[in-house]
């Protein structure tokens, strides 16, 4: 690849790279100027996904090295954000909110995935209660300040969270979508006290009415900030080490593209990045074939996704739930996971893929229930001997 970069610009041929990370494999696609396509599939490297990406890129560029390759654009779909939530491996997050609204994350809404199931339990909040801190302030529905926020109160709230060693902070105050002055004050104090600590305010993430949806979306964004930033920093550094200076664009949940800088501040928009990319690809193929109504199905190593294209258009969702075993669009199940109010391609996702191991437990068998244990054993065969089924990873139980 380095020899190709040393060739004169007149001899170089411009290519575009597509990279998709899944739970099991990483797929690389190289598209030439005349439409020729080359592909590579490599194992995903969970300890550092960027390493697997660079390995695949190096292999695919080596196959056309003699042609004087230059990469003009890199487009990337990823499941890093969604897996972080599903595995509950995000940042230790704190929440600063208005007095009286501390429990919004647990009260949620009346939406439930199984209305008459008395045994159904809400997923645990991403921010534990002792990490949710209140401040005395109040803004009314018209944006008028009813109770000014004291700077000392803001400082004490931040100090309390810092003593708990939080890794990110979400700020969400009542009615801040019409007047964010108090959120901006807390952010200002944050930058004085802990300038390097990841922090986001609801006014920048989702300046809309609906308290639970706004709080949940802001918390999810904060929960992902350090993880996604670390991933992108590693990926960009490795690409630069390989001599790839092309702009890196990431697929959003809505099927559009965004920049690295935008993703660092708003990772909530790439949670369904990988699945959305599959629907976009299926849509492009259906247009070529002249098909207006299709069902898309995307079987990965850890999950399976489905979506509808009707009259040549994506099915859209203005909000959806992530986590809780199943991720479902707004037209299907709601309330099963963590509410995320961002534009997205409407799809249903179940936690069982091509790499899942289905097995029966004697105790559960009497209850006529099945369990699908998907803990990446097929990607780590040694775990088959060292761990019994159910020893780790994500799992979803199917009842009859």
Least trusted range by pLDDT, from 179-183, 205-209, 281-285, 300-304: 300-304
pLDDT digits (tens, 9 = 90+) for 214-267: 999 999 999 999 999 999 999 999 999 988 989 999 999 999 999 999 999 999
- pLDDT at position 355, please? 64
At 369, give phi and psi (nearest 5°): -130, 150
- pLDDT at position 388, please? 43
Q: Is there a domain that residue 361 lies in?
A: yes
pLDDT digits (tens, 9 = 90+) for 35-78: 889 999 998 888 888 999 999 999 998 888 656 678 999 999 99
Higher pLDDT, 236 or 399: 236
- pLDDT at position 359, please? 63
Q: How far is CA 262 from CA 93, 123, 172, in A?
A: 21, 29, 20
Sign of CA dihedral 106, 107, 112, 115: positive
Express as a percent the part of the chain with pLDDT over 70: 80
Tally of structural domains, the chain? 1
Q: Is there a domain that residue 370 lies in?
A: yes
pLDDT digits (tens, 9 = 90+) for 165-188: 999 999 999 999 999 999 999 999
Q: Is there a domain that residue 76 lies in?
A: no
User: Is residue 109 left, alpha or beta, with left meaning phi > 0 and alpha meaning psi from -120 to 50?
Assistant: beta
Q: Is there a domain that residue 369 lies in?
A: yes
At 284, give phi and psi (nearest 5°): -60, -40
Question: What's the maximum distance between 2 C-alpha atoms anywhere in the chain?
Answer: 71
pLDDT digits (tens, 9 = 90+) for 96-116: 999 999 999 999 887 777 778
Question: Tokens representing 109?
Answer: 């809404």
Q: 211-241 and 49-62 are packed helices; what angle lies between their axes, rounded to 10 degrees?
A: 50
Q: Is there a domain that residue 237 lies in?
A: no
What's the pLDDT band for 201 if we cut at 50, 70, 90? very high
pLDDT digits (tens, 9 = 90+) for 3-35: 444 444 445 678 899 999 887 889 999 998 888
Whole-angstrom Cα distance, residue 309 to residue 282? 9
What is the chain's Cα-based Rg?
23
Q: Is there a domain that residue 375 lies in?
A: yes
Mean pLDDT score of the chain, rounded to an integer? 83
Higher pLDDT, 123 or 12: 123
Q: Is there a domain that residue 229 lies in?
A: no
**Cα 140 from chain centroid (whole Å):** 33
Q: Is there a domain that residue 11 lies in?
A: no
What is the pairing mode between strands 138-139 and 369-374?
unpaired
Q: To the nearest 10°, the Cα dihedral for 385, 389, 390, 393? A: 60
CA distance between the termini of the chain = 55
Residue 382 lies in domain: 357-399
Mean pLDDT within 204-221: 95
Q: 151-163 and 181-193 are packed helices; what angle lies between their axes, rounded to 10 degrees?
A: 50
Whole-angstrom Cα distance, residue 349 to residue 281? 17
pLDDT above 90 for 350: no
Please name the residue ranges forming H helices in the chain. Answer: 2-5, 49-62, 80-86, 104-107, 151-163, 181-193, 202-205, 211-241, 260-265, 273-289, 362-365, 383-386
Count H helices and E strands in the chain, helices first. 12, 24
pLDDT above 70 for 400: no
pLDDT digits (tens, 9 = 90+) for 286-318: 999 999 999 999 887 777 888 999 999 988 888
Least trusted range by pLDDT, from 48-62, 150-164, 213-227, 346-360: 346-360
- pLDDT at position 365, please? 45
């Amino acid at each position: 690849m380095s020899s190709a970069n040393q060739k004169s610009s007149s001899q170089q041929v411009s290519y575009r790279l597509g990279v998709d990370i899944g739970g099991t494999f990483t797929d690389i696609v190289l598209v030439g100027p005349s439409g020729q396509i080359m592909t590579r599939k490599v194992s995903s490297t969970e300890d550092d996904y960027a390493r697997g990406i660079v390995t695949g890129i190096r292999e695919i560029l080596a196959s056309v090295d003699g042609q004087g390759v230059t990469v003009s654009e890199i487009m990337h779909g990823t499941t890093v954000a969604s897996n972080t939530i599903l595995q509950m491996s995000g940042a230790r997050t704190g929440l600063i909110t208005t007095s009286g609204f501390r429990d919004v994350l647990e009260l949620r809404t009346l939406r439930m995935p199984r209305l008459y199931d008395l045994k159904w339990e809400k997923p645990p909040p991403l921010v534990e209660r002792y990490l949710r801190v209140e401040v005395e302030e109040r803004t009314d529905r018209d944006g008028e300040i009813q109770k000014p926020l004291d700077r000392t109160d803001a400082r004490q709230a931040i100090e309390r969270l810092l003593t708990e060693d939080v890794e990110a902070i979400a700020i969400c105050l009542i009615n801040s979508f019409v007047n964010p002055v108090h959120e901006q004050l807390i952010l200002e104090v944050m930058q004085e006290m802990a300038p390097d600590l990841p922090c986001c305010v609801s006014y920048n993430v989702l300046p809309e009415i609906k308290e639970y949806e706004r709080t949940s979306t802001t918390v999810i964004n904060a929960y992902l900030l350090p993880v996604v930033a670390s991933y992108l920093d590693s990926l960009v550094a490795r690409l630069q080490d390989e001599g790839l200076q092309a702009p890196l664009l990431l697929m959003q949940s809505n099927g559009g593209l965004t920049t690295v800088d935008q993703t660092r501040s708003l990772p909530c928009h790439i949670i369904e990045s990988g699945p959305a990319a599959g629907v976009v690809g299926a849509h492009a193929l259906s247009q070529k074939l002249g098909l207006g109504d299709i069902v898309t199905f995307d079987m990965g190593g850890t999950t399976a996704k489905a979506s509808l294209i009707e009259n040549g258009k994506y099915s859209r969702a203005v909000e959806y739930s992530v986590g809780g075993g199943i991720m479902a669009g707004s037209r299907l199940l709601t309330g099963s996971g963590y509410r995320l109010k961002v534009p997205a391609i409407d799809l249903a996702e179940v936690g069982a893929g091509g790499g899942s191991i289905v097995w029966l437990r004697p105790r559960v068998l009497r209850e006529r229930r099945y369990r699908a244990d998907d803990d990446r054993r097929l990607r780590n065969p040694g775990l088959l001997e060292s761990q019994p089924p159910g020893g780790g990873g994500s799992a979803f139980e199917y009842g009859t």
